[in-house]
């Protein structure tokens, strides 16, 4: 029988008190934290080069010249780090019919009334939006960054292309930082989420409350199309 699209081969339920559910492998967690660290370093080094008032941040990297030299290389690490995450998780982040309903009822989620929204798989609509938004932004950032990387690509680009790339790169960076802040806030706000990326597992209660469809599919080994409907609001 074909495994449900959002259940990974290493996702497992372990009986106990409390029940625990494996959500991320050690390799996936290392991949995530390398990508996250690269994004933070890119933001700091990029802001240091963005405006004179933030130039003091170059001290974190050994000065302005060093910051300018290593910034694009950190971008390369980010690109390949996120590529690893993309290849691991793109299938589980495909948009499903219940995701639109989940977004329309986001206010219920924010108020803690998740019983009024559709049951979701391994990722909810908000997480999927973050995944695909960052996928697009990273492509934009690496593309515009290559145009600006004069050490290797100066002869292949014109002045006009560089000017456009500066604007695109700056806008993309600001949007990326804002999206990342929302992502971190959401991870802190939903208690138990950070544990998944630190320990690799969540409690059965957490999985039942926030990702019930994924848990049901994991236990039964069958895709659950009946769990996608929301319960009516009381």
Catalytic positions, written as ranges: 183
Round to whole Å and give the CA distance between 192 and 203. Answer: 8
What is the CB neighbour count within 10 angstroms for residue 131? Answer: 19
Name beta bridge partners: 13: 21
> Which residues lie closer than 8 Å to 67 by C-beta, 6 or more apart?
45, 48, 49, 57, 58, 61
Instruction: Specify the length of the chain in residues.
Output: 234
Q: What values do phi and psi take at 12, rounded to 5? A: -145, 150
Provide the 3-class DSSP secondary structure of residue 7: coil
> Which residues lie closer than 8 Å to 42 by C-beta, 6 or more apart?
71, 74, 75, 78, 173
Round to whole Å and give the CA distance between 166 and 67. Answer: 17
């Amino acid at each position: 029988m074909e495994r449900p699209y959002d259940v990974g081969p290493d996702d497992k339920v372990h009986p106990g008190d409390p029940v625990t559910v494996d959500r991320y492998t050690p390799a996936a967690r290392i991949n995530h934290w390398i990508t996250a660290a690269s994004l933070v370093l890119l933001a700091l080094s990029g802001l240091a080069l963005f405006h004179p008032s933030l130039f003091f941040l170059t001290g974190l990297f050994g000065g302005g010249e060093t910051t300018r030299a290593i910034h694009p290389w950190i971008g390369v690490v980010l690109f390949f780090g996120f590529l690893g995450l993309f290849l691991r998780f793109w299938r589980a982040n495909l948009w499903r019919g219940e995701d639109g309903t989940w977004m329309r009822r986001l206010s219920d989620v924010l108020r803690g009334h998740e019983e009024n929204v559709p049951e979701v798989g391994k990722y909810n609509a908000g997480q999927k939006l973050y995944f695909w938004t960052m996928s697009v932004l990273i492509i934009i950032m690496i593309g515009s960054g290559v145009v600006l990387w004069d050490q290797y690509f100066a002869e292949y680009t014109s002045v006009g292309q560089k000017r456009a790339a500066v604007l695109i790169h700056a806008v993309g960076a600001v949007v990326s930082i804002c999206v990342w802040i929302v992502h971190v806030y959401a991870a802190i706000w939903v208690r138990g989420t950070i544990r998944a990326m630190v320990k690799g597992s969540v409690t059965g209660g957490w999985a039942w409350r926030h990702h019930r469809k994924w848990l049901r599919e994991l236990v039964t080994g069958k895709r659950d199309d009946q769990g996608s409907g929301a319960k009516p609001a009381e």
